[in-house]
Structure 1
Amino acid sequence: MTPLPEHLRNATHARTREAEKRARAALAELVKVGKPISFTAVARQAGVSTDFLYRSPELRMQIERRRAKGGSVPAAPADASGDSSTSAAVRALSARLTRQQETHREELASLRKALEIAQGENLDLRRRLARYEAD
């Protein structure tokens, strides 16, 4: 595997630092306004993924510490609706994928049938040609 060129490495580090800065600012803002602290809340406020927050040891520690100070985090109604809309989206995409798979299976079966017919006709024509050439 070829290592990344220096300019790409630098760009990656700069993006990561910027995301960390946004996450710290989001955490501070949530604390300031007295909202419950959670990885999801910080991620939404900062525009980063929760995975990013969990993988950053420093940010993870800060969020867990702030969350512990505030007690348990109540389930926010926005999270519940986000989960149901996510689930609905997943169900819709799964149904669409299932329909596409069925359509593709039908097309494949049709193409196989046509190929069998074409191969049969080809074999018949070759046999007729062989008889014609023998005469």
Structure 2
Amino acid sequence: MTPLPEHLRQATCARTQEAENRARAALAELAKAGKPISFTAVARQAGVSTDFLYRSPDLRSRIERHRTKAGMAPSAAVDLAGDSSTSAAVRALSARLTRQQQVHHEEVTRLRRTLEAAHGENLDLRRRLARYEAD
């Protein structure tokens, strides 16, 4: 894999730094306003994804510290936020998996009923055959 040209690498770094600055500012605004601090709230305020916040060790630790200072344990915050702190990709894949599981469950149920009917027909045919062989 070829490395990125220098100008693209610099642009990427600048964009990442800008997003980090927006997230820090959003965190400060939320704390100053006394609003609940969560990954979702900071992401919405800063216009970044929650994945970005989770992947940034500095931002992640700051948000967790503020959340703990507010008296909200990380597990309680996750319970309140529900799946909103989960990335959109994970939620989409989970929904897709749930739909596939439901479709497969319905198909297995249908196949079991069909198999039961086939077993019944097979048993009936064996009994009829046994009657004819006995004659």
Moved over 4 A (4+): none
TM-score (norm 2): 0.56
- Paired residues for 1:20-35 under 5 Å: 20-35=20-35
> How is 1:97-112 mapped onto 2 (pairs within 5 angstroms)?
none
In structure 1, what is the Cα distance between the partners aligned to 2:72 and 2:32?
18
Q: For residue 72 of structure 2, what is the amino acid of its counterpart? A: S
Aligned partner of 1:65 in structure 2 is 65
**Equivalent residue number for residue 56 of structure 2:** 56
Q: Give the 5 Å matches for 1:1-135.
A: 1-72=1-72
Segments of 5+ residues of structure 1 without an aligned counterpart are: 96-135
Note the residue ranges of structure 2 that are not aligned, 5 or more in a row.
100-135
Identity of aligned residues (%): 73
Amino acid at match of 1:41: A
Q: Number of residues paired by the alignment?
A: 96
Q: Deviations over 1:91-118 (max 9, x none)?
A: xx9x9xxxxxxxxxxxxxxxxxxxxxxx
Letter in 1 for 2:15: R
When normalised by structure 1's length, the TM-score is 0.56
CA RMSD of aligned residues (A): 3.3
